[in-house]
Each structure stands twice: as C-alpha cells, then as structure tokens.
C-alpha cells in the first residue's frame, strides 16, 4: 500500500496550536520594557526582563493590549511595594513571573508561543516555565515589601547625601551647565516626562500652552508625547534610548545627558543620524538635567508634567539616583510648578447634558425677553418678514 506523504500546509500547524488550551499569540521579546512597548501590538505576548515592574511600564503594557506578560525577573523583589503587577492583573492581563531566563535564547521575536499554567510552549516543545501571579500572591508580596520599606528610606537618604557630595558645585552654583541656543531667560518652560498621567495633564494644560507659549522640553520619550499632542519640542534632553527618530529630526535642540566622567552613549546615535547635540554631564536623571538647565538659563517658571515627586515614585523608578530629583526640586525652588494630577484637579464637574440644558434655558430666556419688549417685537417682526421671504423664495424654486 502506497504511503501518502503528509502535506505541509501553511497555517495548519498554527490552527492546531491555537485550538489547544491556554493563550496562543505572537511573542515580542526585549529586555527593555519601554523599548518593547513601542512595537507590541494588541493581543501579543510580551517577554521582558524587568525587576520590580513599575507603574509606568505596566500602564504602557496595558495600553498596548498585551495578551500576557512573561517576566524572567521577579516582578516584585521585595525592595518596595511596586504597583506594576497589580495594574496588569487588574486589567485582566496574565503575568508569568520569574520565568526561565533561557526564553531569550529559545524564543525569537515574532514566534508564536502558547502559555498555560506558567508553562511556555513553542509548538509542541516546552521552552520555559514561570510562576503565574494572582491577586492573592501579589498582595502577599506587597505586604512583605511594605515591611522592608524603612530600609529603602535609609538607603534613599544615603543616596541623597552622596549626590550632594558629587554635585554640590552644580546644585549650588550651577557650575557645569552647558551653553545652549534656546533662549529661556524670563520665559516659562514646560518639561514633559512620560510619567504618571502625562497624557491627561498635558491635554488639560492646552489653554496654558496656547496663552503663554512656553519653551517645550521633552525628556527622552516626552518629546514624542509632545508630538502626539500636536506640539513641536524646542529642546530634547536625555540619553536618547527611548525617543523616536521623528522627534530627533523635529528641529529641536538636542542635549545629551552624559555620565559624570563624560561618557555619553546617546551621542553616538545622534552623530549616526547626522545631527548635532550639546553634552551635559551630570549624575542625576535626565529630568533633573532638564530642570537644572531651565533654572540656570533664567526660566521664570518651570512647569513639570509626568515627573517624579513622591517617595513611592522615586523608588518605583528603580534607581538609587532618584535622590537627585528630590534635591533638584529643592534647588529649583518656588519657580517649579508640578502639573501632576492637574487633570484630576481641573476636571469639570459639569456634564454635557447640563451644559445643553443651560444653553437651551438661555435661548428661551432671550426669546421671552424679546417677545415682551417693544424693541424685541420689532426684531421679531423683522425676523418673521425675512423668514417668510426666504420661504417664498424657496417655494418659487420648485414652482
């Protein structure tokens, strides 16, 4: 009996895999979460390497519509109570935690994988496994992390003192601030960071931006946030690892945040694109650099959108250098206005139906006044004559 050869029909294997239990989808692989979210499409599975998954990264994964998130690192290490895992679970996105590190070698970007009960399959092959997180497991880890928060506060204080020692000349006297062509003397400066509620706050500030025309500074991806909102940044500050080429070619002045020893990894990308940039060596974060630059160049007011302020946010940023942000705010002083949460503060409590009712009531009141006053009678009669003339003309077109 002749053996019938098997047919390799494209898509047949995928259909069989998709019929199996679990979540089957295209995998997007990247150790940098903020880089991965730029190409993650709705319904795809994110494979990341992110210790203490922070709130901003989790919100970005939710906004992308991830079908599941596989983290080869612990999403809650216990250093502090980070909000990222809870945000994912509240959005209904499964989180597989502390998964096999080999996934980055065994799963290529674009492969179709299947996830079930913490097991990760590529076709029929088991390529990794992790711990599925639940609301109960996350809450237990958060409780344990809160118990150790005092140690983090002590470490934060120590980092603050170290930053003062390293950057006292910059903080006190402004020594080391480079020359830039953007004129900020006496101007308002709006600094945008892709942090908490930056989209809502930026939208709420539209009347302010329209009236005061502030200098617009985007901190790395904050430049893209400005472009998405319909604005063109005047300056981009950062290490340029998360800003698009579109933003870099927008005509904004580029300021590369460098290490204190002068190393500037972002400068290589700028030069590769044929662009020019100013280098600002500093120990702190890029948002600190933007604030210190605006302050040193004479800005009369600095409005910050999406920047970090609370202790939880400093720790959530996941770097000891966040102590610099605390000191930078002390240095800038009263000229700094934090726009965080302004969208919630400024949100109108008047509903659309109430506004329509108000307009209708106003028009009715005007009509009543016109109907009872002598001048109103003349206007109404004139309006009726004009209306009748229009109707007569319109009827004449069809007669």
Top mean-pLDDT range of 213-217, 265-269, 277-281, 306-310 = 213-217
Q: What does pLDDT average to over the chain?
A: 81
Instruction: Please report how many Cα atoms fall inside a 13 Å half-sphere around the Cα of residue 174, on the Cβ side.
Output: 14
Query: Hey, which residues does 46 pair with through a beta bridge?
Result: 28, 69
Domain membership of residue 2 (yes or no) is no
User: What's the pLDDT at 388?
Assistant: 75
What does the DSSP 8-state code read for residue 275? -
Mean pLDDT over residues 49-69, rounded?
91
> Per the structure, how many domains does the chain have?
3
Pairing of strands 119-122, 125-129: antiparallel
Q: What angle do CA 187, 193, 198 make, to 5 degrees?
A: 100
Stronger pLDDT, 379 or 181, i.e. the higher one: 181
Domain membership of residue 10 (yes or no) is no
Q: Is residue 98 left, alpha or beta, with left meaning phi > 0 and alpha meaning psi from -120 to 50?
A: left
Whether the predicted pLDDT of 305 surpasses 60: yes
Query: Which of these three, 80, 102, 135, is where a domain ends?
Result: 135
Number of H helices, E strands in the chain: 18, 15
User: What's the pLDDT at 345?
Assistant: 52
Mean pLDDT over residues 97-113, rounded?
93
User: What's the pLDDT at 1?
Assistant: 38
User: What's the pLDDT at 82?
Assistant: 84
**Same-domain check for residues 127 and 163:** no
Query: Hey, which residues does 112 pair with through a beta bridge?
Result: 26
**Same-domain check for residues 198 and 336:** yes
User: What's the pLDDT at 322?
Assistant: 56
Domain membership of residue 151 (yes or no) is no
**Same-domain check for residues 162 and 275:** yes
Top mean-pLDDT range of 91-100, 151-160, 169-178, 386-395 = 91-100
Instruction: Please state, in angstroms and rounded to a whole number, the distance separating the CA atoms of residues 274 and 88.
Output: 40
Mean pLDDT over residues 334-362, rounded?
67
Whether the predicted pLDDT of 205 surpasses 60: yes
Whether the predicted pLDDT of 106 surpasses 90: yes
Residue range 249-275, pLDDT digits in tens: 999 999 999 887 778 888 999 999 999
Whether the predicted pLDDT of 283 surpasses 70: yes
The band of 38, judged by pLDDT with boundaries at 50, 70 and 90, is confident
Q: Which domain holds residue 359?
A: 352-397
Cα 69 to Cα 37, 88, 110, 123, distances in angstroms = 11, 8, 15, 19
**Same-domain check for residues 178 and 107:** no
Whether the predicted pLDDT of 367 surpasses 90: no
**Same-domain check for residues 190 and 207:** yes
Instruction: Please state, in angstroms and rounded to a whole number, the distance separating the CA atoms of residues 379 and 377.
Output: 5
For 158-196, what is the HEC assignment? HHHHHHHHHHHHHHHHCCCCCCCCCCCCCCEEEEECCCC
User: What's the pLDDT at 263?
Assistant: 83
Top mean-pLDDT range of 167-171, 174-178, 288-292, 361-365 = 288-292
Q: Which two tokens stand for residue 13?
A: 């294997």
Query: Hey, which residues does 337 pair with through a beta bridge?
Result: 303
User: What's the pLDDT at 204?
Assistant: 87
Give the number of other CB atoms < 10 A from CB of residue 150.
9
Could you tell me the strand order of the sheet in which 301-305 lies? Answer: 278-281, 253-258, 235-238, 215-219, 188-192, 301-305, 336-338
Mean pLDDT over residues 385-397, rounded?
72
Q: Give the H/E segment covering residue 293.
A: helix 286-296
Instruction: Please state, in angstroms and rounded to a whole number, the distance separating the CA atoms of residues 264 and 279.
Output: 8
**Same-domain check for residues 277 and 303:** yes
**Same-domain check for residues 214 and 97:** no
**Same-domain check for residues 275 and 360:** no
Instruction: Please state, in angstroms and rounded to a whole number, the distance separating the CA atoms of residues 89 and 141.
Output: 14
The band of 168, judged by pLDDT with boundaries at 50, 70 and 90, is low
Instruction: Please state, in angstroms and rounded to a whole number, the distance separating the CA atoms of residues 70 and 87.
Output: 15
Top mean-pLDDT range of 208-217, 299-308, 331-340 = 208-217
Residue range 6-17, pLDDT digits in tens: 334 444 344 455
Residue range 219-245, pLDDT digits in tens: 999 999 999 999 999 999 998 988 999
pTM higher than the cut 0.85: no
Low-confidence winner among 27-41, 193-207, 284-298, 310-324 (lowest mean pLDDT):
310-324
Q: Is 48 helix (H, G, I), strand (E, B) or coil?
A: strand
The DSSP string of 69-105 is EEESS-S--SSS--SHHHHHHHTT--EEES--TTHHH
Whether the predicted pLDDT of 146 surpasses 80: no
Q: Which two tokens stand for residue 263?
A: 């190393």
User: What's the pLDDT at 91?
Assistant: 94
**Same-domain check for residues 26 and 72:** yes
User: What's the pLDDT at 17?
Assistant: 52
Whether the predicted pLDDT of 48 surpasses 90: yes
**Same-domain check for residues 75 and 122:** yes
Query: Which of these three, 305, 326, 346, is where a domain ends?
Result: 346
Instruction: Please state, in angstroms and rounded to a whole number, the distance separating the CA atoms of residues 28 and 241.
Output: 18
Main-chain dihedrals φ then ψ at residue 354, nearest 5 degrees:
-65, -40
User: What's the pLDDT at 12?
Assistant: 39
User: What's the pLDDT at 46?
Assistant: 96
Q: Which two tokens stand for residue 135?
A: 């609301």
Domain membership of residue 83 (yes or no) is yes
Q: Which two tokens stand for residue 227?
A: 């472009």
């Amino acid at each position: 009996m002749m053996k019938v050869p098997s047919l390799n029909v494209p898509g047949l294997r995928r259909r069989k895999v998709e019929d199996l239990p679990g979540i089957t989808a295209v995998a997007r692989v990247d150790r940098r979460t903020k880089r991965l979210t730029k190409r993650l499409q709705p319904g795809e599975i994110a494979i990341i390497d992110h210790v203490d998954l922070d709130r901003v990264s989790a919100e970005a994964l939710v906004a992308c519509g991830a079908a599941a998130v596989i983290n080869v690192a612990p999403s809650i290490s216990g250093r502090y109570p980070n909000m990222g895992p809870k945000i994912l679970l509240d959005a209904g996105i499964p989180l597989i935690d502390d998964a096999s590190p080999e996934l980055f070698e065994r799963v290529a970007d674009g492969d179709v994988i299947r996830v079930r009960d913490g097991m990760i399959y590529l076709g029929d092959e088991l390529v990794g496994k992790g711990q599925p997180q639940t609301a109960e497991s996350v809450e237990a880890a958060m409780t344990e992390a809160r118990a150790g928060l005092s140690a983090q506060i002590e470490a934060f204080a120590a980092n603050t003192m170290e930053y003062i020692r390293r950057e006292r000349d910059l903080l006190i006297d402004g020594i080391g601030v480079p020359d830039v062509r953007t004129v900020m003397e006496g101007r308002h400066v709006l600094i945008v960071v892709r942090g908490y509620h930056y989209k809502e706050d930026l939208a709420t500030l539209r009347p302010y931006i329209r009236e005061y025309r502030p200098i617009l500074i985007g901190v790395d991806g904050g430049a893209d946030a400005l472009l998405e909102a319909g604005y063109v940044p005047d300056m981009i500050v950062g290490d340029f690892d998360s800003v698009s080429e579109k933003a870099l070619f927008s005509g904004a002045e580029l300021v590369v945040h460098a290490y204190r020893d002068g190393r500037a990894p972002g400068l290589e990308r700028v030069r590769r694109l044929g662009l020019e940039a100013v280098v600002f060596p500093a120990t702190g974060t890029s948002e600190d650099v933007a604030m210190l630059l605006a302050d040193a160049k004479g800005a009369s007011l600095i409005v910050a959108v999406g920047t970090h302020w609370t202790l939880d946010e400093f720790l959530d940023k996941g770097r000891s250098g966040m102590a610099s942000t605390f000191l930078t705010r002390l240095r800038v002083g009263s000229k700094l206005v934090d726009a965080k949460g302004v969208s919630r503060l400024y949100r109108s409590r008047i509903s659309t139906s109430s506004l329509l009712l108000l307009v209708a009531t106003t028009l009715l009141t005007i009509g009543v006044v016109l109907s009872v006053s002598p001048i109103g009678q003349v206007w109404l009669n004139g309006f009726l004559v004009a209306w009748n003339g229009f109707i007569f003309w319109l009827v004449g077109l069809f007669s």
